[in-house]
Amino acid sequence: MPIIKKQTFSNGTQLGVWRIEEAAEYFLNIMDITESSLEKIAKMNDRRKTEWLAARYLLQKLLGKNVFCYSDEFGKPILKNSDKHLSISHSRGLVTVIVSDFSIGIDIQEMTPKIQRIAPKFMRNEESESLNSDNSLAHLHIFWGAKEALYKAYGKKKLDFKAHIFVEPFAYLPKGETIGKVKKEDFEANFNIYFEKIENYYLVFAEACEPKTLM
């Protein structure tokens, strides 16, 4: 079973990471898939289809076989018949899901130097100035993951990563935490951010400081 990480936190939040070693047909043969979902994934390429199926299978491994999700009007995944919050991410062979009573977002990203080219588009001055010179690429990936996670937790799109998403500068470590904020017009919410290096990937999730921040 290629679950490489499974964790339940003290507040009940559940997280899982799955290494995709299967083809799409594996999941199609062992899962109950709705007609609407089959129509949706029929339009996907093979890689995207396998990631989509692996994420739903991992979700069932965490919560039970009869758990299903759908997307809201903004494309945010929502658990059917549940008040819990859900977020999903995938990157080059790994997929992760997280479920919480709190508003939440998650990102997983394989390390790549390409991220340095887009850094000016998402890094604020104080964030860039805090980068560890010896581990700047890894440090940068954590900032990127944090902003992606905050964007997903907000869930309504139309956020500028520099103007509306803030990550408090933090010392680089392979595993640690910091604080983030989404602030746009009359909306403001604070989040706890947790990050961890898994092989050559960085896993980052942002969890609202209070359960009803985004209700």
Which tens digits make up the pLDDT trace of 6-49? 999 999 999 999 999 999 999 999 998 888 888 989 999 999 99
As a whole number, mean pLDDT of residues 138-142 equals 98
Whether the Cβ atoms of residue 84 and residue 101 lie closer than 8 Å to each other: yes
Rg (CA), the chain: 17
CATH 3.90.470.20 domain residues, the chain: 3-101, 107-208
Mean pLDDT of 96-104: 96
Number of helices and strands in the chain (H, E): 6, 11
- Indicate the CATH number for domain 3-101: 3.90.470.20
How high is the pLDDT of residue 34? 84
CB atoms within 10 A of CB 108: 23
pLDDT score of 133: 93
Q: What is the pLDDT of residues 54-99, one digit of tens each?
A: 999 999 999 987 888 989 999 899 998 899 999 999 999 999 999 9
pLDDT tens per residue across span 185-207 = 889 999 999 999 999 999 999 99
Would you identify the CATH topology of the domain 107-208?
Ribosomal Protein L22; Chain A (3.90.470)
